[in-house]
Structure 1
Amino acid sequence: MDDKMKKTLIALIALIFVLPLAACSNTSKDTAIKENTSRWHKTISGLEVVKTDKYGNDRGYIARTMKELKKVNESVIQGTVYDMSKIDNFNNGAYTKVTVYVDKVISGKKSLQGKKIVLVMNGGITTTNSWYKNQNQTRETNHDILVQYNEAPLPKVGSKIIGGITTIEKTEPTIYMKTIKKNNLANTNTYDLDMPAFNFWIKDSKDKQYHLNNPKATKELKVNPEMAKSIKNLTDELNQKYNN
């Protein structure tokens, strides 16, 4: 057997082992996502939904181009929402632990690809007494509610996402950072999602393309046509390159 035939044989043997492992991995991920979807639906089923225009964690620079998006973030990722979990929230705050499987690192830390990271996102389960604390609440029986931020609704388990992430600033005195610490999430796989109102794109099972995860974005951007056009162009570019 000559060297060329040996190399071909080695390559074929490698494929025999690698392809089943990849298929098994994808099947395992899909199964876990289905189970996580069911569990999260049960968790939030029947809860009163309270919508708010308050700002949660929504900081950073609004990138208008791909170059800016890559520049202002440590990493830009494309991922799948793998799981969502209730966390312990402070008064007047509502966040959710969102675990994301990184399908592709568009820019930045390549070692994240194929890994799971944690994002603490706006909206989540809390109680009426906690959410309305010191806000002249009409007294009622304390009960659980699901808070939804109008500019940044929680994604669904299984949704595809694109967004910029940065290392969390652990010394911040904000409710957001206090919540992360309270739930022991201030570790190396927890990241800050940058500018979720205008630089966070989502694609649900019913969608054909990625779109901003902000139902109010079109109306809000009308006051700045130039920015609206730039963000639309950025959204189109992301779809052309990463909507596989």
Structure 2
Amino acid sequence: MKRKIGWVLAAALLVLLAAGGCAPKTPTAKKKPTPVKTEQKAETVPTYRVVADNNLDKFKQTHGQYRTINYDPQDDLVSLLPESLAKLKKYPQTTTVRAYVTDWQQASVQMGSKPMTVLTVQVQKVLTGKKQLAKQEIRLILPGGFQPYGQYDKGSIYHDNTIPDDEPVLTQNNQIPIPTIGSTIVLPMRKAAQYPAKEYLAWLKAAKLTTAYVPADAHSMIWRCNPQTKKLTTNNPLREKELTKWAGQGNQTWATQYKRLTAELEKQL
């Protein structure tokens, strides 16, 4: 009897084990991979652009709203415009750059009766000439600057009596408008101290500008650059009118050279 009961218990145990083995397993949910956060890096603003923004704010605070008087120096101009970029590369002691204007200061000493402006520019790229100037900060001298209206127009038959003599006005050559802080320019330039005139060299020394640069041809070869489109336009508004006039009159030589050089420079930007 005991043996029979034992066999029954053993059989029951086998049934339970079999049932447990065949029972469906509870499915385990697969863990989804944790998404990796990819942060887009904010565009790094070059330090010189931050400096330019600060300097522009200071300039506006200092000068506020002001009159601009464009004068005609009555000079006999000789254009140094080359026929092509290849010819420009052969200009002695000349470097062509794309540069960003970061500051605008008036020279501490006037040259004769005329104020002079010193632009601080950051060289972004060297297009021809000294490659070591790339990413360097240099000073660029241009004619014009602020002075009391009475000092500028003293004794002139064109004197405007509605303008107070003590009002500061910006006077600039009508063919060489001074590029603004925050603008991008392209120009061939040379060391100012290369020019041999004794009076000019004495002025450079007095104004502490012996290491500064000047445009190789301020009337014809300063371009304003659009950083987005990489297109160049002349800095000289009168030259733009001349290009249109000469083309209309059939004088294609100078206009063709200018357009060719501009297009070749754009490819280097």
Distance 1:79 1:149 in 2: 21
The aligned amino acid for 1:172 is A
1:64 corresponds in structure 2 to 83
Moved over 4 A (4+): 133-140, 176-179, 204-208
> Deviation string for 1:165-197 (max 9, x for gaps)?
1122364256x65653332112x3x11211122
1:149 corresponds in structure 2 to 173
Please tell me whether residue 181 in structure 1 is matched to residue 232 in structure 2: no
2:48 corresponds in structure 1 to 29
Distance 1:123 1:206 in 2: 29
Matched residue SS, 1:125:
strand
RMSD: 2.9
Aligned-pair distance for 1:206? 8.8
Distance 1:179 1:207 in 2: 39
2:96 corresponds in structure 1 to 76
> Deviation string for 1:97-155 (max 9, x for gaps)?
10111111112112111110101112211222432356457475333210132211111
1:118 corresponds in structure 2 to 139
2:253 corresponds in structure 1 to 226
> Deviation string for 1:55-90 (max 9, x for gaps)?
68x776222311222222521111111111122424
Name the stretch that deviates more: 63-72 or 130-139.
Answer: 130-139
In structure 2, relative to structure 1, the CA distance for the partners of 1:113 and 1:205 (3 Å cut) is: closer
Distance 1:194 1:79 in 2: 15
Question: Alignment partner for residue 159 of structure 1, among 163, 167, 183?
Answer: 183
The aligned amino acid for 2:128 is S
Please tell me whether residue 193 in structure 1 is matched to residue 219 in structure 2: no
TM-score, structure 1 normalization: 0.76
> Deviation string for 1:193-233 (max 9, x for gaps)?
11122111112579762111011113223344211111112
TM-score, structure 2 normalization: 0.69
Matched residue SS, 1:158:
coil
Question: Alignment partner for residue 232 of structure 2, among 204, 207, 210?
Answer: 210
The aligned amino acid for 1:191 is Y
Matched residue SS, 1:196:
coil
1:4 corresponds in structure 2 to none
Distance 2:74 2:203 in 1: 15
Distance 1:194 1:90 in 2: 19
Name the stretch that deviates more: 193-202 or 121-130.
Answer: 121-130
The aligned amino acid for 1:71 is K
Structure 2 residue runs of 5 or longer lacking an equivalent are 1-40
2:123 corresponds in structure 1 to 102
Distance 1:235 1:171 in 2: 30
The aligned amino acid for 2:141 is V
Structure 1 residue runs of 5 or longer lacking an equivalent are 1-19
In structure 2, relative to structure 1, the CA distance for the partners of 1:68 and 1:134 (3 Å cut) is: farther
Please tell me whether residue 172 in structure 1 is matched to residue 172 in structure 2: no
In structure 2, relative to structure 1, the CA distance for the partners of 1:149 and 1:44 (3 Å cut) is: farther
The aligned amino acid for 1:72 is Y
Aligned pairs, how many? Answer: 216
Aligned-pair distance for 1:160? 1.1
In structure 2, relative to structure 1, the CA distance for the partners of 1:208 and 1:163 (3 Å cut) is: closer
